Amino acid sequence: MKAIPLAIPDVVLIEPQVFGDERGFFFESFNQAQFEAAVGKPVQFVQDNHSRSVKNVLRGLHYQIQHPQGKLVRVVQGEVFDVAVDLRKSSETFGQWVGEILSAENKRQLWVPEGFAHGFVVLSDTAEFLYKTTDYYAPAYERCILWYDPTLRIQWPDGIQPILSAKDAQGKGLTEAEVFA
């Protein structure tokens, strides 16, 4: 496993070592000890989620203001552009974002720690997205930041025509949103 800290160092891109031949491939998708060494702290996952979306579906930017969730995300079918936004007011990178292409082909994973908003847009015809979380889903504390917030200036891929849920369409701008201390 190769761990690559991104422009926001707490967000880590993980590239597995893939063994393949004419029969197919094998890789270790998760190893607790290696993962904790990569992110520099103990992490306990309590929930696994699996979503399927069609092209141009944009989910996010989601976070939980209480019971914040760290997320280890990956794509097992298709391709997405995945984004993490730092919402930790005390952080030097508050209000900054990082984005990466995750796909079934590249097998990359992204660690999005607690204190970040997370979202993705589907680039392929369909995509299946898996993620482990460090806390349980708590709908009463779920919040959403608008995907096109002008303060963030996220550079989403060209040509997307986002398909949003009603909840995501009503997200708040960063300047109005509840954030972490």
- Catalytic positions are 62, 131
Tokens of 58: 């944009």
Q: How far is the C-alpha of 170 from the C-alpha of 79, rounded, in Å? A: 25
DSSP 3-state of 84 = strand
Q: Is 71 in contact with 132 (CB distance < 8 Å)?
A: yes
Q: Is 111 in contact with 37 (CB distance < 8 Å)?
A: no
The Cα-based distances of 92 to 95, 112, 115 in angstroms read 9, 16, 13
Phi, psi angles (nearest 5°) of residue 139: -55, -30
Q: Is 97 in contact with 83 (CB distance < 8 Å)?
A: yes
The pairing of beta strand 19-21 with beta strand 126-133: unpaired
Q: How far is the C-alpha of 73 from the C-alpha of 60, rounded, in Å? A: 14
